[in-house]
Amino acid sequence: MINRVLYFLATNIAILVVLSITMRLLGLDFHLAQYGQDITGLLVLSAIVGMAGSFISLAMSKTMAKRFSGARVIESPSNAREIWLLQTVEKQSSAAGIGMPEVAIFQSRQINAFATGMNRNNALVAVSSGLLDEMTSEEAEAVVGHEVSHVANGDMITLALIQGVLNTFVFFLARIIGQMVNRAVFRSSGGPAYWIIVIIAELVLGILASMVVMYFSRKREFRADRGGAELAGKDNMIAALMRLQSQYEPSVLPDQLAAFGISGGVGSGFSIRKLFRSHPPLEERIEALRQL
């Protein structure tokens, strides 16, 4: 969904812009801006900044997820459903070969869940109160299995690596564009106009790059569905997706977390928004499971 841009990409681009401004203030890339001939140096610098921006965003993901969703981590279960949730995540994490994630509940009447974190052994799995209230235990177990599979498959790391590579080219091309436009229009090799052009180019290229990240995110959803089917049963995973399909309304997860949700988004036909969706349509996911 386009909301993914407001979370993963927006955080990532914001970090890139902050790093760019910091480097400017420190004078670290003044030579590149002034002369523009050191393409190799610019590419190396771009790779360092690009990967740093992506992994700083990833490192912040758990903290930001808790803050944006209002998720409460279960430290000591207070009722039967919290005990069931902890036991289910523990059982599936062991079966998937990962460390026990933090388990949290966020208040929402919608059926939803998300997983995030820096690595497979230090992740967060959160479900909505609506999921626990509205789904059968079999369906809920399948949704939890889907999220545990995201962790086990290393999807957060994979997308961070992809984003880091894209960041490299965004950072690099933004400065090439800045030099070309500044010299052609303002007859200058530096100055305020150059930096304004660079920041605008970073924002535009960053949004375009997000379409590539979304494409890979949609592919990883199919894999997580298969993982959920292995952990909780194919029929249960299909039933969970069908429940989402029948009850789906626009997610009330905060916009910044919609990309991590189980439902993600639905719709048929082509629109530019589909290029920014992190999840495939539910009917496609159900059909893919049926064909396993």
pLDDT tens per residue across span 188-245: 666 778 888 888 998 899 888 888 988 998 999 999 999 999 999 999 999 999 999 8
Measured distance CA(111)–CA(120) in Å, rounded: 24
**pLDDT given at position 169:** 92
CATH of residue 149: 3.30.2010.10
Element (H, E) at 146: helix 137-152
Supply the range of the domain harboring residue 205. Answer: 3-62+157-210
Number of domains present in the structure of the chain:
2
Nearby residues of 286 by Cβ (< 8 Å), 6 or more positions away: 238, 241, 242, 245
DSSP letter for each residue of 203-252: HHHHHHHHHHHHHHHHHHHHHHHHHHHHHH-HHHHHHHHHHHHHH--S--
Measured distance CA(102)–CA(6) in Å, rounded: 24
**pLDDT at 127 > cutoff 90:** yes
Exposure letters 176-190 (e unless 16+ CB within 10 A, then b): ebbbebbeeeeeeeb
Same domain, 244 and 110: yes
Higher pLDDT, 186 or 104: 104
pLDDT tens-digit profile of 142-180?
999 999 999 999 998 898 899 899 989 998 998 889 888
**pLDDT at 88 > cutoff 70:** yes
**pLDDT given at position 95:** 97
Same domain, 149 and 169: no
Residues assigned a catalytic role: 147
Q: Closest Cα partner for 234 from 158, 156, 139?
A: 139
